[in-house]
A and B are shown apart, each in its own frame.
Chain A
Protein backbone atom coordinates (compact mmCIF):
# COMPACT_ATOMS: atom_id res chain seq x y z
CA UNK A 1 0.00 0.00 0.00
CA UNK A 2 1.50 3.34 -0.93
CA UNK A 3 1.52 6.09 1.63
CA UNK A 4 1.28 8.94 -0.83
CA UNK A 5 0.33 12.24 0.67
CA UNK A 6 -1.97 10.80 3.31
CA UNK A 7 0.83 10.09 5.75
CA UNK A 8 2.93 13.13 6.59
CA UNK A 9 5.69 10.88 7.95
CA UNK A 10 6.06 9.31 4.51
CA UNK A 11 6.62 12.51 2.56
CA UNK A 12 10.31 12.89 1.72
CA UNK A 13 11.77 16.12 3.05
CA UNK A 14 15.28 17.53 3.09
CA UNK A 15 16.38 19.28 6.27
CA UNK A 16 16.59 23.05 6.06
CA UNK A 17 19.78 24.76 7.15
CA UNK A 18 18.43 26.71 10.08
CA UNK A 19 21.64 26.98 12.08
CA UNK A 20 23.77 28.24 9.20
CA UNK A 21 26.53 25.67 8.70
CA UNK A 22 24.67 23.36 6.32
CA UNK A 23 25.84 20.23 8.09
CA UNK A 24 22.92 18.05 7.09
CA UNK A 25 23.53 18.57 3.41
CA UNK A 26 27.30 18.14 3.90
CA UNK A 27 26.69 14.76 5.50
CA UNK A 28 24.23 13.72 2.79
CA UNK A 29 26.68 14.73 0.05
CA UNK A 30 29.43 12.75 1.69
CA UNK A 31 27.20 9.67 1.74
CA UNK A 32 26.42 10.12 -1.94
CA UNK A 33 30.16 10.28 -2.64
CA UNK A 34 30.67 7.14 -0.55
CA UNK A 35 28.17 5.39 -2.80
CA UNK A 36 30.32 6.22 -5.80
CA UNK A 37 33.61 5.12 -4.23
CA UNK A 38 32.66 2.17 -2.11
CA UNK A 39 31.00 -1.22 -2.42
CA UNK A 40 29.31 -1.93 0.88
CA UNK A 41 27.79 -5.31 1.59
CA UNK A 42 25.89 -3.88 4.52
CA UNK A 43 24.33 -0.44 4.70
CA UNK A 44 23.08 1.20 7.89
CA UNK A 45 20.70 4.12 7.48
CA UNK A 46 18.81 6.19 10.02
CA UNK A 47 19.16 8.78 12.75
CA UNK A 48 21.65 9.37 15.59
CA UNK A 49 21.12 5.84 16.90
CA UNK A 50 22.80 4.69 13.69
CA UNK A 51 25.29 7.55 13.44
CA UNK A 52 26.67 7.27 16.95
CA UNK A 53 27.22 3.54 16.59
CA UNK A 54 30.16 4.23 14.35
CA UNK A 55 31.90 6.27 17.04
CA UNK A 56 32.25 3.30 19.34
CA UNK A 57 34.79 0.50 19.12
CA UNK A 58 31.99 -1.99 18.53
CA UNK A 59 31.54 -0.69 14.99
CA UNK A 60 35.09 -1.51 14.04
CA UNK A 61 34.87 -4.91 15.75
CA UNK A 62 31.56 -6.14 14.38
CA UNK A 63 30.57 -4.16 11.32
CA UNK A 64 33.62 -2.73 9.55
CA UNK A 65 34.77 -6.27 8.71
CA UNK A 66 31.46 -6.81 6.95
CA UNK A 67 32.15 -3.83 4.66
CA UNK A 68 29.46 -1.74 6.21
CA UNK A 69 28.69 1.89 5.55
CA UNK A 70 26.97 4.14 8.05
CA UNK A 71 24.49 6.67 6.67
CA UNK A 72 23.08 7.88 9.96
CA UNK A 73 22.36 11.56 10.62
CA UNK A 74 21.45 12.74 14.10
CA UNK A 75 17.98 14.22 14.39
CA UNK A 76 16.64 12.60 11.25
CA UNK A 77 13.01 11.53 10.95
CA UNK A 78 11.49 9.07 8.48
CA UNK A 79 10.94 12.01 6.10
CA UNK A 80 14.65 12.88 6.05
CA UNK A 81 15.71 9.28 5.49
CA UNK A 82 13.20 8.91 2.66
CA UNK A 83 14.54 12.04 0.98
CA UNK A 84 18.15 10.90 1.31
CA UNK A 85 17.45 7.45 -0.05
CA UNK A 86 15.62 8.94 -3.02
CA UNK A 87 18.39 11.42 -3.69
CA UNK A 88 21.54 9.42 -4.15
CA UNK A 89 22.16 7.32 -1.09
CA UNK A 90 21.07 4.14 -2.84
CA UNK A 91 22.88 4.84 -6.11
CA UNK A 92 25.84 2.85 -7.43
CA UNK A 93 25.78 0.34 -4.60
CA UNK A 94 24.33 -3.12 -4.20
CA UNK A 95 24.39 -4.05 -0.52
CA UNK A 96 23.21 -7.48 0.56
CA UNK A 97 21.76 -6.23 3.82
CA UNK A 98 20.30 -2.84 4.71
CA UNK A 99 19.68 -1.95 8.35
CA UNK A 100 17.07 0.73 8.97
CA UNK A 101 16.79 2.46 12.34
CA UNK A 102 14.70 5.63 12.46
CA UNK A 103 11.50 6.96 13.99
CA UNK A 104 12.34 8.12 17.50
CA UNK A 105 12.67 11.74 16.31
CA UNK A 106 9.27 11.85 14.54
CA UNK A 107 7.79 14.05 17.25
CA UNK A 108 5.12 15.56 15.01
CA UNK A 109 3.70 12.22 13.99
CA UNK A 110 1.51 9.60 15.61
CA UNK A 111 2.74 6.07 16.13
CA UNK A 112 0.67 4.98 13.13
CA UNK A 113 2.27 7.62 10.94
CA UNK A 114 5.77 6.72 12.11
CA UNK A 115 5.20 3.04 11.37
CA UNK A 116 3.85 4.07 7.97
CA UNK A 117 6.95 6.15 7.34
CA UNK A 118 9.18 3.19 8.12
CA UNK A 119 7.09 0.99 5.81
CA UNK A 120 7.50 3.57 3.06
CA UNK A 121 11.27 3.38 3.53
CA UNK A 122 11.14 -0.41 3.25
CA UNK A 123 9.07 -0.21 0.08
CA UNK A 124 11.42 2.34 -1.45
CA UNK A 125 14.38 0.06 -0.72
CA UNK A 126 12.50 -2.91 -2.18
CA UNK A 127 12.13 -0.96 -5.41
CA UNK A 128 15.65 0.44 -5.68
CA UNK A 129 17.52 -2.47 -4.08
CA UNK A 130 15.42 -5.58 -4.70
CA UNK A 131 18.28 -7.87 -3.75
CA UNK A 132 18.78 -6.34 -0.31
CA UNK A 133 17.50 -8.02 2.80
CA UNK A 134 16.22 -5.39 5.17
CA UNK A 135 16.45 -5.37 8.94
CA UNK A 136 14.29 -2.79 10.67
CA UNK A 137 15.39 -2.16 14.23
CA UNK A 138 12.64 -1.53 16.76
CA UNK A 139 12.55 1.86 18.46
CA UNK A 140 14.11 1.81 21.90
CA UNK A 141 12.47 3.06 25.07
CA UNK A 142 13.68 6.51 26.12
CA UNK A 143 13.62 8.82 29.10
CA UNK A 144 14.74 7.98 32.60
CA UNK A 145 11.25 7.07 33.81
CA UNK A 146 8.04 5.90 32.12
CA UNK A 147 6.70 8.61 29.82
CA UNK A 148 4.47 8.95 26.72
CA UNK A 149 7.35 8.56 24.28
CA UNK A 150 8.04 5.08 25.59
CA UNK A 151 4.46 4.12 24.89
CA UNK A 152 4.59 5.71 21.48
CA UNK A 153 7.80 3.94 20.48
CA UNK A 154 6.43 0.62 21.76
CA UNK A 155 3.27 1.21 19.73
CA UNK A 156 5.34 1.79 16.59
CA UNK A 157 7.09 -1.52 17.20
CA UNK A 158 3.78 -3.32 17.72
CA UNK A 159 2.42 -1.92 14.46
CA UNK A 160 5.56 -2.92 12.59
CA UNK A 161 5.36 -6.42 14.02
CA UNK A 162 2.05 -6.78 12.20
CA UNK A 163 2.79 -4.85 9.02
CA UNK A 164 6.36 -5.78 8.13
CA UNK A 165 5.66 -9.49 7.54
CA UNK A 166 3.39 -8.38 4.72
CA UNK A 167 6.23 -6.61 2.95
CA UNK A 168 9.09 -8.13 1.00
CA UNK A 169 12.54 -9.13 2.18
CA UNK A 170 12.26 -7.42 5.54
CA UNK A 171 12.22 -8.39 9.18
CA UNK A 172 11.85 -6.54 12.42
CA UNK A 173 14.56 -6.88 15.05
CA UNK A 174 12.85 -5.68 18.18
CA UNK A 175 15.67 -5.99 20.67
CA UNK A 176 14.62 -4.71 24.02
CA UNK A 177 18.17 -4.68 25.35
CA UNK A 178 16.77 -5.03 28.83
CA UNK A 179 17.18 -1.30 29.25
CA UNK A 180 14.06 -0.80 31.32
CA UNK A 181 14.58 -2.10 34.83
CA UNK A 182 11.93 -3.55 37.09
CA UNK A 183 11.29 -0.14 38.63
CA UNK A 184 10.67 1.31 35.18
CA UNK A 185 13.94 3.24 35.13
CA UNK A 186 16.56 3.39 32.41
CA UNK A 187 20.14 3.74 33.55
CA UNK A 188 22.55 6.38 32.29
CA UNK A 189 25.06 3.54 32.02
CA UNK A 190 23.02 2.26 29.08
CA UNK A 191 21.81 5.61 27.71
CA UNK A 192 24.02 8.51 28.79
CA UNK A 193 21.28 11.06 28.22
CA UNK A 194 18.39 8.61 28.46
CA UNK A 195 18.14 8.52 24.67
CA UNK A 196 21.56 7.85 23.16
CA UNK A 197 23.35 4.60 23.91
CA UNK A 198 26.66 4.23 25.65
CA UNK A 199 29.21 1.71 24.39
CA UNK A 200 27.74 -0.81 26.80
CA UNK A 201 24.23 -0.05 25.62
CA UNK A 202 25.23 -0.56 22.00
CA UNK A 203 26.84 -3.88 22.82
CA UNK A 204 23.48 -5.20 23.98
CA UNK A 205 21.82 -4.23 20.71
CA UNK A 206 24.66 -5.03 18.36
CA UNK A 207 25.16 -8.60 19.45
CA UNK A 208 21.79 -9.89 18.17
CA UNK A 209 21.96 -7.48 15.24
CA UNK A 210 25.35 -8.80 14.19
CA UNK A 211 24.14 -12.37 14.46
CA UNK A 212 21.16 -11.65 12.26
CA UNK A 213 23.27 -9.85 9.67
CA UNK A 214 25.72 -12.75 9.54
CA UNK A 215 22.81 -15.12 9.05
CA UNK A 216 21.41 -13.06 6.18
CA UNK A 217 24.82 -12.67 4.57
CA UNK A 218 25.34 -16.42 4.64
CA UNK A 219 22.02 -16.96 2.96
CA UNK A 220 22.95 -14.67 0.09
CA UNK A 221 24.45 -16.50 -2.88
CA UNK A 222 27.82 -15.11 -3.94
CA UNK A 223 27.32 -13.20 -7.14
CA UNK A 224 29.90 -12.53 -9.75
CA UNK A 225 30.15 -8.76 -9.79
CA UNK A 226 31.48 -6.89 -12.76
CA UNK A 227 34.03 -4.40 -11.57
CA UNK A 228 32.72 -0.85 -11.62
CA UNK A 229 35.12 1.08 -13.89
Chain B
Protein backbone atom coordinates (compact mmCIF):
# COMPACT_ATOMS: atom_id res chain seq x y z
CA UNK B 1 0.00 0.00 0.00
CA UNK B 2 2.95 2.27 0.76
CA UNK B 3 5.09 1.25 -2.19
CA UNK B 4 2.49 1.80 -4.88
CA UNK B 5 1.65 5.25 -3.55
CA UNK B 6 4.91 6.55 -4.97
CA UNK B 7 3.94 5.47 -8.47
CA UNK B 8 1.01 7.85 -8.65
CA UNK B 9 1.13 11.58 -9.29
CA UNK B 10 -0.25 12.24 -5.82
CA UNK B 11 3.08 11.34 -4.28
CA UNK B 12 4.87 14.03 -6.20
CA UNK B 13 2.10 16.53 -5.43
CA UNK B 14 1.67 15.96 -1.73
CA UNK B 15 4.67 14.14 -0.27
CA UNK B 16 7.78 14.82 -2.34
CA UNK B 17 7.65 18.50 -1.30
CA UNK B 18 7.79 17.34 2.31
CA UNK B 19 11.07 15.54 1.61
CA UNK B 20 9.52 12.16 2.04
CA UNK B 21 11.10 8.77 1.47
CA UNK B 22 9.11 5.67 0.59
CA UNK B 23 10.32 2.40 2.08
CA UNK B 24 7.41 0.24 1.03
CA UNK B 25 7.93 -3.30 -0.30
CA UNK B 26 5.01 -5.17 -1.82
CA UNK B 27 3.98 -8.27 0.08
CA UNK B 28 5.65 -7.28 3.32
CA UNK B 29 4.24 -8.32 6.67
CA UNK B 30 4.93 -6.79 10.08
CA UNK B 31 7.84 -9.25 10.41
CA UNK B 32 9.52 -8.01 7.25
CA UNK B 33 9.11 -4.37 8.24
CA UNK B 34 10.50 -5.05 11.72
CA UNK B 35 13.55 -6.73 10.22
CA UNK B 36 14.16 -3.91 7.78
CA UNK B 37 13.86 -1.24 10.45
CA UNK B 38 16.26 -3.12 12.68
CA UNK B 39 18.73 -3.61 9.84
CA UNK B 40 19.56 -0.18 8.53
CA UNK B 41 16.39 1.54 7.44
CA UNK B 42 16.37 3.83 10.45
CA UNK B 43 20.08 4.64 10.38
CA UNK B 44 21.58 8.01 9.60
CA UNK B 45 18.23 9.76 9.30
CA UNK B 46 16.13 11.82 11.66
CA UNK B 47 12.65 12.14 10.24
CA UNK B 48 10.09 14.27 12.03
CA UNK B 49 7.20 12.05 11.01
CA UNK B 50 7.11 8.33 10.27
CA UNK B 51 4.07 6.81 8.57
CA UNK B 52 3.56 3.08 9.11
CA UNK B 53 1.15 1.08 6.95
CA UNK B 54 1.44 -2.69 7.15
CA UNK B 55 -0.57 -5.71 8.27
CA UNK B 56 -2.88 -6.66 5.42
CA UNK B 57 -0.44 -9.36 4.23
CA UNK B 58 -0.11 -11.07 7.63
CA UNK B 59 -2.19 -14.02 6.49
CA UNK B 60 -0.69 -16.44 9.00
CA UNK B 61 -1.53 -14.29 11.97
CA UNK B 62 -4.63 -13.50 13.95
CA UNK B 63 -5.90 -9.94 14.24
CA UNK B 64 -4.45 -9.78 17.76
CA UNK B 65 -1.05 -10.86 16.51
CA UNK B 66 -1.10 -8.38 13.66
CA UNK B 67 -1.97 -5.53 16.01
CA UNK B 68 0.84 -6.69 18.26
CA UNK B 69 3.23 -6.68 15.33
CA UNK B 70 2.32 -3.11 14.51
CA UNK B 71 2.77 -2.13 18.16
CA UNK B 72 6.21 -3.72 18.11
CA UNK B 73 7.09 -1.59 15.09
CA UNK B 74 5.95 1.53 16.91
CA UNK B 75 7.99 0.64 19.98
CA UNK B 76 11.07 -0.03 17.86
CA UNK B 77 10.70 3.36 16.22
CA UNK B 78 10.22 5.02 19.63
CA UNK B 79 13.58 3.56 20.67
CA UNK B 80 15.57 4.34 17.54
CA UNK B 81 13.82 7.59 16.55
CA UNK B 82 12.51 9.11 19.77
CA UNK B 83 11.90 12.45 18.09
CA UNK B 84 9.66 11.04 15.37
CA UNK B 85 5.91 11.36 15.50
CA UNK B 86 4.34 8.19 14.22
CA UNK B 87 1.19 7.85 12.16
CA UNK B 88 -0.17 4.33 11.88
CA UNK B 89 -2.61 3.95 9.02
CA UNK B 90 -5.55 1.65 9.60
CA UNK B 91 -5.86 -1.42 7.41
CA UNK B 92 -8.27 -0.97 4.54
CA UNK B 93 -11.15 -3.27 3.71
CA UNK B 94 -10.40 -5.63 0.80
CA UNK B 95 -12.14 -7.96 -1.59
CA UNK B 96 -15.07 -7.07 -3.81
CA UNK B 97 -17.69 -8.33 -1.38
CA UNK B 98 -17.82 -8.88 2.39
CA UNK B 99 -15.37 -11.58 3.43
CA UNK B 100 -13.37 -12.72 6.48
CA UNK B 101 -10.37 -10.54 5.66
CA UNK B 102 -12.48 -7.42 5.96
CA UNK B 103 -13.51 -8.44 9.42
CA UNK B 104 -9.95 -9.28 10.33
CA UNK B 105 -8.56 -5.95 9.14
CA UNK B 106 -11.34 -4.09 10.94
CA UNK B 107 -10.53 -6.04 14.09
CA UNK B 108 -6.87 -5.03 13.84
CA UNK B 109 -7.95 -1.40 13.60
CA UNK B 110 -10.24 -1.76 16.62
CA UNK B 111 -7.42 -3.25 18.67
CA UNK B 112 -5.03 -0.50 17.63
CA UNK B 113 -7.58 2.15 18.54
CA UNK B 114 -7.32 0.85 22.12
CA UNK B 115 -3.63 0.03 22.30
CA UNK B 116 -1.91 2.85 20.42
CA UNK B 117 -2.97 5.65 22.80
CA UNK B 118 -0.98 3.83 25.48
CA UNK B 119 2.22 4.11 23.43
CA UNK B 120 4.38 7.17 22.85
CA UNK B 121 4.26 9.70 20.07
CA UNK B 122 1.85 7.72 17.91
CA UNK B 123 -1.63 8.07 16.55
CA UNK B 124 -3.92 5.94 14.44
CA UNK B 125 -5.32 7.36 11.24
CA UNK B 126 -8.20 5.06 10.48
CA UNK B 127 -9.41 6.53 7.21
CA UNK B 128 -12.26 4.52 5.85
CA UNK B 129 -12.11 6.21 2.46
CA UNK B 130 -15.74 5.33 1.98
CA UNK B 131 -14.61 2.40 -0.10
CA UNK B 132 -17.34 0.04 1.02
CA UNK B 133 -20.65 0.98 -0.58
CA UNK B 134 -24.07 0.47 0.93
CA UNK B 135 -24.37 -2.90 -0.79
CA UNK B 136 -21.12 -4.02 0.80
CA UNK B 137 -19.21 -3.85 -2.48
CA UNK B 138 -15.87 -2.22 -3.18
CA UNK B 139 -15.44 -0.71 -6.62
CA UNK B 140 -12.55 -1.46 -8.93
CA UNK B 141 -12.42 2.30 -9.52
CA UNK B 142 -11.09 2.62 -5.97
CA UNK B 143 -9.15 -0.66 -5.79
CA UNK B 144 -8.24 -2.00 -9.21
CA UNK B 145 -7.82 -5.55 -7.93
CA UNK B 146 -9.95 -5.12 -4.81
CA UNK B 147 -6.81 -4.71 -2.72
CA UNK B 148 -4.50 -2.13 -4.29
CA UNK B 149 -5.66 1.45 -4.65
CA UNK B 150 -6.12 3.34 -7.89
CA UNK B 151 -5.00 6.94 -8.14
CA UNK B 152 -8.50 7.97 -7.15
CA UNK B 153 -8.48 5.60 -4.21
CA UNK B 154 -5.17 6.99 -2.97
CA UNK B 155 -6.51 10.53 -3.20
CA UNK B 156 -9.20 9.68 -0.66
CA UNK B 157 -6.62 8.37 1.81
CA UNK B 158 -3.85 10.85 1.12
CA UNK B 159 -5.89 13.98 1.72
CA UNK B 160 -6.48 13.37 5.46
CA UNK B 161 -3.02 11.81 5.74
CA UNK B 162 -1.37 14.87 4.24
CA UNK B 163 -3.31 17.17 6.53
CA UNK B 164 -2.23 15.23 9.58
CA UNK B 165 1.41 15.16 8.49
CA UNK B 166 1.37 18.92 7.90
CA UNK B 167 -0.09 19.41 11.36
CA UNK B 168 2.61 17.28 12.97
CA UNK B 169 5.39 18.96 11.00
CA UNK B 170 4.19 22.38 12.12
CA UNK B 171 4.25 21.26 15.72
CA UNK B 172 7.90 20.20 15.46
CA UNK B 173 10.39 22.86 16.52
CA UNK B 174 13.05 23.57 13.89
CA UNK B 175 16.36 22.10 14.98
CA UNK B 176 19.78 23.23 13.97
CA UNK B 177 21.29 20.24 12.19
CA UNK B 178 25.02 19.81 11.77
CA UNK B 179 25.82 18.81 8.22
CA UNK B 180 26.80 15.16 7.90
CA UNK B 181 30.33 15.18 6.41
Contacts and interface: CB of A to CB of B under 8 A. Distances in A.
Interface of A: 18-23, 26-27, 30, 51, 54-57, 73-74, 192-193, 196, 198-199
Nearest to B105: A21
A22 B95 contact: yes
B7 A22 contact: no
A26 B7 contact: no
Contact of B97 (A26, A73, A192, A198): A26
B138 to A, nearest CB: 9
Nearest to B26: A193
A192 B6 contact: yes
Nearest to B22: A192
Contact of B150 (A21, A55, A73, A196): A55
A30 B140 CA distance: 9
Nearest to A48: B145
Contacts of B161: none
Interface string B93-119: 011110111100000000000000000
Nearest to A57: B9
A23 B94 contact: yes
Classify the secondary structure of B's interface with A: loop
Nearest to A192: B7
A23 B147 contact: yes
11 contacts: A20-B99, A21-B100, A23-B94, A23-B96, A23-B146, A27-B140, A30-B96, A54-B144, A55-B150, A55-B151, A193-B25
Nearest to B100: A20
Contacts of A54: 144
B96 A22 contact: yes
A196 B24 CA distance: 14
Contact of A55 (B59, B102, B144): B144
A9 B153 CA distance: 35
B3 A193 contact: yes
Interface string B1-39: 001001111000000000000000110000000000000
Contacts of A56: 7
Nearest to A70: B144
B152 to A, nearest CB: 10
